[in-house]
Structure 1
Amino acid sequence: MKLINKNLILSLVTIITLSACGGGSDESTTQTNNSNTSNPGISNNTTITGQFLSSNDTGKFYSTEQMPSYQQYGKNASHCYQSYNDYYFETENTMVFGNPDLPDTDFKQAAQWVENNFNTALTTMAISKAEYFSNRYSVRLVGLKHIRNQLSSRYYDTIDYPNNFDALTYDQQVDWATKTAKSLTKNEAVELLVNDPYSPFQTETQTVLEDKIYVCLHEKNTTNGWGEGSLSGITIGAPSLAIPHEVEKIVTHELIHTIQHALSANFEGLGLPRWYSEGQAVLLSGMEVAKKSDHNEYDPTLVVSYYDETGDQAIAYSHYGLAYQYLKDANGQPSIVNMMKDMKRITYNYSQQKNSTLKEFHGYVESFDKLMKQTNASTLTVQQYRDEYHALMSAY
């Protein structure tokens, strides 16, 4: 009888847990472990400094928009912005929202996981906590998009417009408006929004995000798609309902995703190809990475979206990690962070994207081609990494 590799089984269980990352499917199933005592990542006597609060008293809500977006909060957080956006447990770095009927220990355990792994995620990404929050949009995304739209329509008379604004093309006006909206300080953005009768927000507390990781507890009784990272923070399962294998690594993985959003997300989305976003999170959270000698098993750099993914998902994720490992070894993590920041400054252009020969976001392609190197220090382009991946791996 052929024996199945134990590490492969554990990797598969972990990857199924992450299936919602970046648009995964919920169709896969796995064994749910509802016992805290059987998982080494769970403490039955969680002790953490924090307090339970009502948003009606503090003014700090999970969401304040009439139509919250997946981009801001993720796909699995709907019940937090629809039903349970006003009750939370707050600690130094996080605010955990969820159903008040869940056990208090669920909120505390989720906060403990974030507190345990936030610094790890920051360190492996090579940024500080201050850098993370300064790069994350401090104003809720719908507010920034509203400002962008009003600027492009020349609505605000308190803003200095370019002298040739009316002579610019529509795309040029939107580009200027987008860059201007991004460059506003929190106070400047708040002032525009609260004084705009058409704004989605009327007060500062509705407009801004706290310098915390927003956590939503979903209530799926399964570890499928248990974790998800978004612009505001992460969504994870209530611990009393389901706890995945290697939970600490999974929480770190999702925290890396929210850091990715802070560093590179444009108004239209994250902008990173799936292999990159998942590969970075896999490698830096300490999950299993494919061996260099096995690079011919998969073509990771061709996977731009979830729909490009083929075959065994655990194998795919391990190869995403390998593809990212090459970039990290060739460039260093700080250089990669600079590339991610650079792509954030680029405004999405529909015409440019439509006419591109590549599926990847044109801003990602521009920044990658400009800043990324091979291990021999020569230039590496997105097209080259797609076409010559296995040759590069053979020489790695």
Structure 2
Amino acid sequence: MATWKGVLFTGLVAAALTGCKVTATDTHYESDPDHFISGLFFDARDTGRHYPAESWALTNATEACRGEPLYFETSSGRVRVYGSPAYSETSFRAAASELERRIDGVLSRFQLRWPDFVEDRTAAAPYPRQVIGCLSPNVAQSEVASASLSAVAFHPYYGQWPPETGQIVSHELVHFVQENLSRYDAGYSLLPYWFSEGQAVVVAGEPVAPVYQHYDYDPLRDVIPGDAANTPYRFEHYGLAYRYLEKANGALAMTVLLEMVQLLDWDGGFDGEISTGESRAFVEAFNSAGLVDHWNNYLSFQRFRSEYHDLLSSSY
């Protein structure tokens, strides 16, 4: 990892280089169990493939499967879902099918194929060639799914999933991909909350605020979930802020930005936060990535943060 990422970072510099949105309704998810992805059940006590135990890579929701030996693995071998034998076989298969069917679509928005993701994701994560799922009692019915670096947790009762489950899973898979591309072994996310949620909103195809409404909210001030105002439309503004960057620079540039954050985390020389709360790794990567505004002028993180509304005003 160190060699190829060092080459990537050097070349780019030389060239000038957690709360999630909930949209669940009261009606339920409908899918034909006969069309679930095929696979088999296994016991980790026989295979030795135990659920991840590294606390730095799990959250309260995804920690629920620690010590659970039962898992369902899809025929491709890419997806494995752990959980208590108290949960139905259908719930295991439904979660595995959602992950298997949606991961490629999410990765394509990052300009990645599955082999690229396997190569680029943090080598510190358990099972780098699999997407790990968890049927977790710590995921509320209204949330459906919740992602961490090592796993994606699901509400364990398939019959209670809402009809928009597919979109919610795609949103959470974005977070799973983000964390695997931007972290090496940091104990917390290195991405600002607005960026993490904004990218998830755009990639999952959720609503984005119209540009002319940009003054309604200041998304870049939401560095952590605790900074956010209690307004549901803030997610649309996170999407607006992220979409501005992607539109000016392209989706691949956003993926490279995440990989540069991971490289800086691996290097270990950019720990901590700057005065406004963002991780030093993210800010350094942003400033080194050669990002531009809609006029094709160099865009530093500090300028984007301070001139956000002026930039949006002049972009339409």
TM-score normalised to the size of structure 1?
0.69
Deviation string 1:15-66 (CA, Å, 9 cap, x unpaired) is xxxxxxx1469xx998655xxxx434x3343432100001111111112x4x
Structure 2 CA distance, aligned partners of 1:224 and 1:43? Answer: 22
Q: Superposed, which structure 2 residues align to 1:85-96 within 5 Å?
A: 86-91=69-74, 92=76, 93-96=78-81
Write out aligned runs for 1:154-193 (5 A): none
- The 8 Å contact of residues 51 and 82 in structure 2, kept in 1 or not, is answered as yes
**Aligned match of 2:36:** 47
The 2-side partners of 1:260 and 1:29 are apart by 21
What residue identity is the alignment partner of 2:297?
Answer: S
Other structure's SS at 1:345 match = helix
1:364 aligned residue (244, 258, 282): 282
The alpha-carbon distance between structure 1 residues 285 and 366, as it changes in their structure 2 partners (threshold 3 A), is same
Q: 1:187-266, aligned counterparts within 5 Å?
A: 209=127, 211-219=129-137, 222-240=140-158, 242-266=160-184
2:233 aligned with 1:334: no
CA separation of 1:360 and 1:56: change in aligned 2, threshold 3 A: same
Identical aligned pairs, as a percentage? 28
Q: How far does residue 221 in structure 1 lie from its aligned partner after superposition? A: 7.7
Change in Cα spacing, 1:262 to 1:222, as seen in structure 2 (3 Å) is: closer
Deviation at 1:259, TM superposition (A): 0.9
Q: Does 1:308 align with 2:298?
A: no
User: Structure 2: 5+ residue runs without aligned partners?
Assistant: 1-17
Query: Partner letter of residue 216 of structure 1?
Result: C
> 1:223-261 CA distances to partner (integer Å, 9 max, x unpaired)?
244322221231111243631341111111111111111
Decide whether aligned partners of structure 1 residues 232 and 30 sit closer, same or farther in structure 2, where only a CA change above 3 A counts.
Answer: closer
Superposed displacement of residue 295, structure 1? 0.9
Of 369, 374, 384, which residue of structure 1 is paired with 2:293? 374
Q: Distance in 2 between matches of 1:30 and 1:110?
A: 16
Count residues with an aligned counterpart: 292
Secondary structure, aligned partner of 2:97: helix
Residues 240 and 225 of structure 1: CA distance in aligned 2, closer, same or farther (over 3 Å): closer
- Cα distance, 1:100–1:45 mapped onto 2, change above 3 Å: same
Structure with larger Rg: 1
For residue 285 of structure 1, the aligned residue among 180, 204, 207 is: 204
Give yes or no for contact 2:24–2:164 (8 Å, CA) kept in 1: no
Residue 119 of structure 1: how far off its partner (Å)? 0.7
Structure 1 segments unaligned to the other structure (5+ residues): 1-21, 141-207
Q: Which runs of 4+ in 1 moved over 6 A?
A: 28-31
Query: AA paired with 2:38?
Result: T
Q: Distance in 1 between matches of 2:79 and 2:115?
A: 14
Q: Pick one of 84, 102, 105 that aligns with 1:99.
A: 84
CA RMSD, Structure 1 to Structure 2 (Å): 2.3
What is aligned with 2:6?
none
Alpha-carbon separation, structure 1, partners of 2:215 and 2:117: 36
CA contact (8 A) 1:222 1:242 kept: no
Alignment of 1:24-173 (within 5 A): 33=27, 38-40=28-30, 42-63=31-52, 65=53, 68-69=54-55, 71-81=56-66, 83-84=67-68, 86-91=69-74, 92=76, 93-140=78-125
What secondary structure is seen at the aligned counterpart in 2 of 1:209?
coil
C-alpha distance in 1 between matches for 2:41 and 2:297: 54
